[in-house]
Amino acid sequence: MDYIYAASTGILIAIFIFGLKTGVGCGFSTVKKRDVLILAGAYFLISVILGSLVEMVDQSYLEGIANLGMTLHVLIALILIGAGIYTQKKWNCGCDVSKKTFLVISVPCPVCLTALFVSCMVLASTLEISGWKVGIIVGLVFFTSVISSTWIFRKMKKTPEDLGTAMMFLGIFYLLGAMLVPAYIEAKRLNLALSSGGELEIVPLLIFSLFIIGGYALNNIRGQ
């Protein structure tokens, strides 16, 4: 029983953290409070719908969903990086486009929908309750995360330029996930030991990633 509670709490905390992505987009942009409420309400409704569909989908499809999510990670990452650069360039030219570009990071994307659906499926099987009830729980957690994080981020008095930075950082994070996660899964599947050199294949990717992040941070420091 303790394991069930621990697993359920961990999943809900992960959903709350995932909702911070939407909160960043709403909090760092100049979008109206009404639009934030509409967006948070849309996430709640989507969660209930996905929870209701859980009982119609076999858990054997989870692996296929996960593989599709990795592919979508790359596409979403490139869109985030491009939108972040565009937002910063327009802001530096005196034009605020954050009311439009915030949608790239805040609206339900395929990766977000996949995470919500998988969370509802795992929670439904763990707690052994109806899918629509799980959807309500997940939706409430996501709704609370979006509203609270938006309020906190707006108190920080950030500008659309910071929104662009956050979008580029998240895009790089998605790219790293798309590179490292499949490599890790493949290494586990082949049962490679450290002595055989299989784990060392990840090292070049890590070094390359550090160069990207370091160059990005240095560029931001120079621009200040």
Residue burial 10-49, b: 16+ Cβ < 10 Å; e: rest: ebbeebbebbbbbbbbbbbbebeeeebeebbeebbebbbb
Q: Which two tokens stand for residue 96?
A: 């605020």
pLDDT on residue 220:
53
Task: State the pLDDT at residue 190.
Answer: 55
pLDDT at residue 37 in the model: 93
In this structure, is the dihedral angle defined by the CA atoms of residues 153, 155, 157 and 159, taken in order, positive or negative?
A: positive
What is the reported pLDDT for 62? 58
Q: Residue ranges of the chain with pLDDT lower than 70?
A: 1-3, 57-71, 177-224
pLDDT at 218: 45
For residue 45, what pLDDT is reported? 93
Question: Given this model, what pLDDT does residue 13 score?
Answer: 85
pLDDT at residue number 31 = 86
User: Taking the domains of the chain in order of start, what are their residue ranges?
Assistant: 2-171
- Residue 61 has what pLDDT? 59
